[in-house]
Amino acid sequence: MPVTIKSAREIELMKEAGRILEIVHDELGKALHPGMTTLDIDRLGEEIIRSYGCEPSFLNYNGYPASICVSVNDEVVHGIPSKRAILKEGDIISIDMGAILDGWHSDAARTFGVGKISDEAQNLIDVTRQSFFEGIKYVKHGAKLGDVSSAIQQYVESHGYSVVRDLVGHGIGRNLHEDPSVPNFGKAGHGVKLAAGMTIAIEPMVNAGDYHVAVLDDDWTVVTDDGSLSAHYENTVLITKDGCEILTL
Ligand code: MF3
Ligand code: CO
pLDDT at 76 over 80: yes
Across residues 15-22, what is the average pLDDT? 98
**Given the CA of residue 59, which atom of ligand 1 is nearest to it?**
12
What's the pLDDT tens digit per position in 131-140? 999 999 999 9
Whole-number pLDDT of residue 140 = 97
3-state secondary structure of 249: coil
Candidate from 69, 105, 234 with most ligand 1 atoms within 8 A of CB, to mutate: 69
What is the average pLDDT across 49-58?
A: 98
Q: What is the pLDDT of residue 79?
A: 98
Shortest-distance atom of ligand 1 to CA 97:
1
Quick check: pTM over 0.85? Answer: yes
The pLDDT score that the predictor gives to residue 27 is 98
Q: Is the CB of 105 under 6 A from ligand 1?
A: no
Residue 42, ligand 1, Cβ within 6 A: no
In the chain, % of residues over pLDDT 90: 99
Identify the band that residue 99 occupies on the pLDDT scale cut at 50, 70 and 90.
very high
Ligand 2 centre to CA of 174 (Å) is 13
In this prediction, residue 214 carries a pLDDT of 98
Long-range contacts of 38-42 (CB under 8 A, 24+ apart): 38/70, 38/72, 38/79, 38/81, 38/82, 38/85, 38/87, 38/93, 39/81, 39/82, 39/83, 39/85, 41/68, 41/70, 41/81, 41/93, 41/95, 42/66, 42/67, 42/68, 42/70, 42/81
Centre of ligand 1 from the C-alpha of residue 139, in Å:
23
Q: Would the pLDDT of 1 be above 70?
A: no
DSSP notation for 99-124: EEETTEEEEEEEEEE-SS--HHHHHH
Average pLDDT over residues 82-87: 98
Mean pLDDT for the chain overall: 98
The answer, yes or no, to whether residue 85 has pLDDT greater than 70, is yes
**Residue with CA nearest ligand 1 atom 6:** 58
- How far away, in angstroms, is 221 Cα from ligand 2 center? 15
pLDDT band at 197 (very low <50, low <70, confident <90, very high): very high
Q: So what's the pLDDT on residue 225? A: 98
Give me ligand 1 centre to Cα 70, in Å: 11
In the reported structure, the alpha carbon of residue 138 is separated from the centroid of ligand 1 by a whole-number distance in angstroms of 25
Quote the pLDDT of residue 136. 98
